[in-house]
Amino acid sequence: MGVIGTLLLTTALAGVVGTGLGGLIGALLQKDSNRVVSLLLSFAGGVMLSVVCFDLIVESIETDAGLGTVIFSVALGVAVIYLLNWLIDRKTNPEVPHIDANHPKTADDLDELIHADHWQQHHERKDSKFGLFIAGIVMACAIALHNVPEGMTIGASYASNDGVMGSAALVLAVLIGLHNIPEGMAVSVPLISGGMGRIKAVCLTAATGIPTMIGALLGYLLGEIGPLGLALSLGFASGAMLYVVFGEILPQAFIMYRSKLPAFSAIAGMLLGLYIIFA
């Protein structure tokens, strides 16, 4: 199997299989546990943070493209993902009744984070098929905003290791796969409760992991251009993941389970990440 084939297979396992497994669990149980999801998200966020800060950004600096280039690319990754999320939220939040002035200024449930609640609202109103289709496209875009940068971190790490699937890329793939399990549950449960067949719901849920493969390919191809391309790829992917971790995963984890445990779970994830990187 070639370099690209190995990369796509790895990210398919992380994205499609991880999300699909979550969809299957959601189809069988049709419920989730806020405590378990919170601790899983915070732990995965901690590992991702460790790998991004102590591996990917360091590798970006070592390309000798210049510290200014690295800082710019990280800031660009943060800004782009934030802006795209803001645009989606601005369009959808007014259509969901429970998101009002008293609501936290971030998602307090996975349904909100991926806008499955927006799709559910259209379904409950018995909107036209076109309206449901548009709501589904919005949900797919919201999921892609998480999956594409996640895939880019794998692809950029892969490129920085000369096309060899190193430990950092493997760890990211495993962690992203674990992170996608509760996300898959959040997609499949409202689809099934809305009347969709379980098999179809699981298949559609698994398909939402495809953007991870696209992101991995983008990250790898950009990183193959040369030192500047690699610095931009690593930096942009790192910035995007920093926003996802600090702007979405950790705030949501603390809101879902109001306890000190998510903080300890995130710290444990960071320590595991450090061990994997430097052991």
Provide the pLDDT for residue 165. 65
What is the per-residue pLDDT across 210-223, written as a single tens digit (0 to 9) for each? 888 999 898 888 88
Question: What single letter denotes the amino acid at residue 14?
Answer: A
Query: 233 with 159: CB under 8 angstroms?
Result: yes
Mean per-residue pLDDT over the chain, rounded: 83
Query: 220 with 4: CB under 8 angstroms?
Result: yes
What is the per-residue pLDDT across 35-65, written as a single tens digit (0 to 9) for each? 887 888 899 889 889 888 998 899 899 888 8
Residue 180 CA to residue 197 CA, distance in Å, equals 21
- Asked if residue 169 has pLDDT above 80, the reply is no
Write down the H helix ranges in 13-128. 18-29, 34-51, 57-61, 67-92, 110-113, 116-124
- Asked if residue 243 has pLDDT above 90, the reply is yes
pTM, whole model, 2 decimals? 0.83
| Average pLDDT of the residues in 172-200 | 78
Residue 72 CA to residue 61 CA, distance in Å, equals 12
Provide the pLDDT for residue 168. 66
User: By C-alpha distance, which of 153, 159, 171 is closest to 77?
Assistant: 153
Residue 5 CA to residue 121 CA, distance in Å, equals 40
Which of 11-20, 136-145, 215-224 shows the lowest per-residue confidence on average (mean pLDDT)? 136-145
Q: Percent of the chain having pLDDT more than 90?
A: 15
Residue 206 CA to residue 196 CA, distance in Å, equals 15
**Exposure b/e, 203-228, CB count within 10 A at least 16 = b:** ebbbbbbbbbbbbbbbbbebbbeeee
Provide the pLDDT for residue 164. 65
| Average pLDDT of the residues in 60-85 | 92
